Structure 1
Amino acid sequence: MKNGVVIVGAGHAGVQAAASLREEGYDGPVVLVSDENELPYHKPPLSKTFIKDGDAKPQPLRGEAFYSGSSIDFRPGVRIASIDASARRLDIAGGGSLGFARLILATGSRPRLLKFEGTELSGVVSLRSLADARLIRELSAQSEDVVILGGGFIGLEIAATLRAAGRKITVVEAVDRLLGRAVAPVIAAHVRQRLEAMGVRILTGTTISRLEREGGRVSAAITSTGERLPAQMVIIGIGVVPNVELAEAAGVAIANGIRVDQHMQSSIPEIIAVGDAASYRHWFTGGDVRLESVQNATDQARLAARTIVGHAEPFSAVPWFWSDIGDMKLQMVGLTQGGDSHVVLGDLAENRFSIYHYAGSRLLGIESVNRPGDHMLGRKMLGAGFSPRPETVAAGPEGLKAALAAFQDTVPVKATA
């Protein structure tokens, strides 16, 4: 059998790449390799309903019949030990090898670790996989007090979920506010207020110096100020590290991830990278980014398939993200770093509002809480390259829709091949 495409990693990016290859007409062999012994599954629910509901089942990305029906050779429980780029060969841990004509690395990321006394104890966990979620669910049933280290999306989603399930939750964040890398201060303050109203205790500007034990299990977290926080479970959610080791050892260029061009090709053209592990020069900001989102992973995977079949165009997807924290659906579109002004639409007191971020007269992005219509309209505006004036935003959604329609009427229709 001739060598075809091998995809390493069966998360959202890897599965989408396999599906898109077939959708794009690729008829060669496709091998999808996963180091987990699970049918590929949706990850976002793991921090929410799955860890709260003992009867919840993982949600497969595709049914089992999809892989056989699409002639995708799915291989679970396989760990790749190394890449021989010159021989176009993957060496499998424990023996064996896989040849490839093209290689897609969808290796994702792993939780960033902390090193201080007690992190090796039973009851200290992170969330990245289905196995992690199962462990958190099991430990939660045995825990009254839970300490969460990290005030990012994952930590806060888990905090809201476990608090709703009746646990006593303390969130410890090292910097002076929540969601520091992710959203504007007004959103962060709103999220904090809603969580505290639920009964979640939040400590910002605070770190943990050590963990206490009872037997071999964690019993408390000791803060940098000496406060003792009872904990039968400690969840570490302080961000992730891209899985670049395979690529780096193979001689692929690395820069805060596996460096790729606008067609998702690495410094070795036969090797493509997509998803959390890929870093690139973003078309919208002109800066180098590595985006951790399902949307980015699947959009890059689609383009990777098009690159392989020879129908590639430069990557130009509008980035968008979401998070469900308690009664707040946060939706973000665009990249708002470098903004110098903003317009607020809606009412914070009603838990329904959006923030439109500008750099000068250019709309950079929109952050919404429980206003999905604003989010969807924002995706259309940024996709069209339309920046409404702040006074148009302030007039409300209907005026924005009319302004977008008028703008689109003036844009020449792109020629189609």
Structure 2
Amino acid sequence: METTESALVIVGAGHAGSELAVSARQQGWAGPIMLLGEEGFLPYQRPPLSKAFLAGTADAESLALRSQSAYDSARIELRLGARMTRIDRAARYIELADGTHIHYSKLALCTGGRPRQLACAGIDAHHHPTNLLYLRTQKDAEAIRSHLQSGSQLVVIGGGYVGLEVAASAIALGAKVTLLEAQPRVLARVAGPALSTFYESVHRAAGVDVRTGVSLRKVHTEAGRIDRIECEDGESFKADMVVAGLGMLVNDDAARVAGLATDAGLEVDAFSCTRDPDIVAAGDCTVHHSPLYERTIRLESVPNALDQARAAAAWLCGKPKPNHGVPWFWSDQYDLKLQMVGLSQGYDRCVLRGATASRSFCAFYLQGDRLLAVDAVNRPGDFMVAKRALAKPVTLPPEIDLADESRALKDVLAVAPPVAVTGNH
């Protein structure tokens, strides 16, 4: 067993793990820090995988979050190709797939997630079709990119952000793209009908064959590859490659066995602490109570991963500072920058500021008079104003006209009274 005094061991070398390691050193952690990652690459950015990297406008070197020398300077031991299989909380060590035991003084779990697999008649779990791909890692993006060429037929299954971003990147490379979504509209789980309609029209105008409300009947294969996809309505789509964007499953197997995870993920508090005082967690694998929305949430976002990582590092170094960040996300498709702040679930009213035809507008989601979330398309200034407003948060009585563009948004929201949220600050 590898034993080190006051060792901080971080499992998962994504945005959260890399940030936690560096932040802990900056905030005063004096002992050894070991950062373990399953992949063979330096910790890298994931958002460009479906955008610039897939489209070929960014290379692998540009993805790195930090250089090797940055980890060396911070005295962070980076161990790649290491997969954790077990946590022994009583003896305070983790076990790796190769049988190695690594002792920890404090443990940080930043294990992220993995793509949800496509389940459909014709898919043999033991013989994965070679042209059925998912997008989560750099290798995934490289595999998709190697299959894409001008004129190739891509079928994207899933009309969420990943599916739409892959479709946009593939169109830019000259591929023929069909997108199949089971819901009545794209982005159905995360945005209102106005935004869905807008993005469907944008993709159709770019050449994507968008099909919504479709169910898969069977995948037909030849020589270990998907040849075509048959839908319940009888229509079939030929495919040189299929990319499934069906959401994410949390990597929490070891944590679950160790009693740290629920069905939703690893439970953490505002300091990123788990129920074990020696273990923190950050990133996509975690769930936490949101005072802002008064419910338990799990966020798949880089800003949340960074916020939780910094909170964990501060707590580990004896400088506790709770994380009360407002959820925010972004998506790049074609020439459109979509920036989202807040969570719109439960809204009963949507107000548009600006015309969708202008390709520059905001959608405000309200529950009664309470502002829940804002989607901003090509309006970075309005997004920043909305982000500050949601941090309060605010109510918007009927006399406040969000759609009135004769007044600057900051002036409109300046008169909005705040909402008292228990435990937010």
Deviates more, 1:105-114 or 1:222-231: 222-231
Distance of aligned partners of 1:80 and 1:227 in 2 relative to their CA distance in 1, 3 Å threshold:
same
**d(CA) in 2 for partners of 1:271, 1:226:** 52
Residue pairs, 1:7-406, within 5 angstroms: 7-53=10-56, 56-58=59-61, 59-116=63-120, 117-118=122-123, 120-141=128-149, 144-389=152-397, 391-396=400-405, 399-402=408-411
- SS of residue in 1 equivalent to 2:168: helix
**Cα offset for 1:376?**
0.7
Distance of aligned partners of 1:189 and 1:86 in 2 relative to their CA distance in 1, 3 Å threshold:
same
Paired residues of 2:192 and 2:350 also in contact (CA < 8 A): no
- SS of residue in 2 equivalent to 1:235: strand
- SS of residue in 2 equivalent to 1:393: coil
**d(CA) in 2 for partners of 1:130, 1:251:** 31
**Cα offset for 1:177?**
0.9
- After superposition, the C-alpha distances for 1:120-151 in whole angstroms (9 at most, x for unaligned) are 21100100000101100111138710101100
Paired residues of 1:253 and 1:267 also in contact (CA < 8 A): no
**d(CA) in 2 for partners of 1:394, 1:92:** 55
**Cα offset for 1:389?**
4.5
**d(CA) in 2 for partners of 1:182, 1:205:** 16
TM-score normalised to structure 1 length: 0.93
- SS of residue in 2 equivalent to 1:384: coil
**Cα offset for 1:82?**
0.7
Q: Aligned residue pairs: how many?
A: 410
- After superposition, the C-alpha distances for 1:176-223 in whole angstroms (9 at most, x for unaligned) are 111111111110110001100111011111122222223222221111
Distance of aligned partners of 1:143 and 1:395 in 2 relative to their CA distance in 1, 3 Å threshold:
closer
Distance of aligned partners of 1:407 and 1:19 in 2 relative to their CA distance in 1, 3 Å threshold:
farther
- After superposition, the C-alpha distances for 1:22-59 in whole angstroms (9 at most, x for unaligned) are 22222221110000000111111111121222873241
Paired residues of 1:148 and 1:172 also in contact (CA < 8 A): yes
**Cα offset for 1:226?**
1.9
**d(CA) in 1 for partners of 2:180, 2:174:** 19
- SS of residue in 1 equivalent to 2:354: strand
**d(CA) in 2 for partners of 1:402, 1:23:** 39
The residue type equivalent to 1:158 in the other structure is: V
**Structure 1 alignment gaps of length 5 or more:** 409-417
Distance of aligned partners of 1:229 and 1:393 in 2 relative to their CA distance in 1, 3 Å threshold:
same
Paired residues of 2:382 and 2:409 also in contact (CA < 8 A): no
- Identity between Structure 1 and Structure 2 (%): 38
**d(CA) in 1 for partners of 2:407, 2:308:** 32
**d(CA) in 2 for partners of 1:343, 1:71:** 51
**d(CA) in 2 for partners of 1:386, 1:245:** 39
TM-score normalised to structure 2 length: 0.92
The residue type equivalent to 1:323 in the other structure is: S
**Cα offset for 1:118?**
3.5
**d(CA) in 1 for partners of 2:368, 2:44:** 42
Q: Superposition RMSD on alpha carbons, in Å?
A: 2.1
**d(CA) in 2 for partners of 1:371, 1:403:** 16
**d(CA) in 2 for partners of 1:397, 1:360:** 24
**Cα offset for 1:322?**
0.5
Distance of aligned partners of 1:142 and 1:167 in 2 relative to their CA distance in 1, 3 Å threshold:
closer
